[in-house]
Amino acid sequence: MYNEIHANHVLHKKLPDLGDRHRQIIVIELTQFQVRIFEGDVILLSSQIVTGVHGSELQFHVDLGSALRQANYELEASLASGWTLYP
């Protein structure tokens, strides 16, 4: 369904020079399936995710399965690099 968010992984990391940081890995369905990765001081709400955010990493996929696999890969890579799941 158009504008549907199929996954929204939120991670957290405390950085010595920047303080608390959040990383979100989202799968959203638009005209194609997209994996969007945002990093910043705040957690984005669904309306902000749909409209997009300047500076986000964006990957396009033709089907939901490949987008979810990419999001899970990004999640595992983030966890391996020191990010933790945000409660």
Residue-averaged pLDDT of the chain: 89
Task: Quote the pLDDT of residue 25.
Answer: 95
Positive or negative CA dihedral for 36, 39, 43, 48?
negative
Domain edges within the chain: 4-85
Instruction: Determine what percent of the chain is predicted with pLDDT higher than 90.
Output: 61
Segment 11-40 mean pLDDT: 92
Q: How does residue 34 score in pLDDT terms, banded at 50, 70 and 90?
A: very high
Q: Assess whether pLDDT exceeds 80 at residue 52.
A: no
Segment 58-84 mean pLDDT: 97
Alpha-carbon gap, residue 47 to 84, rounded angstroms: 24
Contact 21, 15 (CB under 8 A): yes
Segment 16-40 mean pLDDT: 92
Nearest to 41 by CA among 29, 27, 55: 55
Alpha-carbon gap, residue 8 to 21, rounded angstroms: 16
